[in-house]
Amino acid sequence: MMSVIVSGGEQGIKKTHLMYKTNLNSKMLQKYLNILERGGLITEISLGKQKLVKLTPLGIFAYSSLKALSNILSLTGGVISSSEQTSKYLDELAKTNLPISSGKSVLGKSGIMYYPDAIVDVKGESYLVKFIMGKKGFESSIEFLNFVLMVVDSEKKGLVITDNPDIEKIVPKKLAEDLKVVSVISPEKIAEKVKAILQL
């Protein structure tokens, strides 16, 4: 869908054209647009009686990153594997003494099933957890933006634990209260930092 929006140029694309090109009915189209808008990736503007959809700067960055990843995968013929150290990070997170569940899925409003690295209960609220460790540049940004969509679509709160301080700079303002980023230098600092940011 993002590539279709990009095809509309700087002004954006008419919603009627977007519906035609994506082969979605108006209800399904609006559902996906709501997810992208809540994630800070698109904006809707009015031009006279017409409604236009265009990417935000964050959306342009996400689209460019996804294209770059697609090019790499087409050359390598594979998929970038997830970190094999997730269990180690979970062990460190467990030191917070928070109730933690791993291996559980979450169903989004769009009907998509998501698989966070863990789910923690904090003061009666569930936080989806994503570890982005040992990754830099567009690879870490793509993982983060995918997680943003997970949080928005599932209507849950999110907790990103990362060793990339740049991740904090691309948190959508609309999600500042619901999406917390914990920057750590090493996995051994996870429990300490999580407690601080969640005010435990």
- Please state the pTM of the whole predicted model: 0.62
**pLDDT digit string, tens, across residues 121-170:** 888 888 999 988 877 776 777 788 888 888 888 888 999 988 888 888 88
**What is the chain's mean pLDDT, rounded?**
79
What is the CATH code for 86-197?
Answer: 3.40.1350.10
CA distance between the termini of the chain: 40
For residue 183, name the pLDDT band (cuts at 50, 70, 90).
confident
Give the mean pLDDT of 185-193.
82
Answer whether CATH 1.10.10.10 is correct for domain 2-58: yes
- Could you give the residue ranges of the DSSP H alpha helices within the chain? 2-6, 15-22, 26-38, 57-76, 86-94, 137-154, 190-197
**pLDDT digit string, tens, across residues 35-69:** 788 778 888 888 777 888 888 877 777 766 666 55
Distance CA 4, CA 103 (A): 34
Reduce the secondary structure of 149-188 to three states and give it as a string. HHHHHHCCEEEEEECCHHHHHHCCHHHCCCEEEEECCCHH
Task: Please check the confidence at residue 82 and state whether its pLDDT lies above 80.
Answer: no
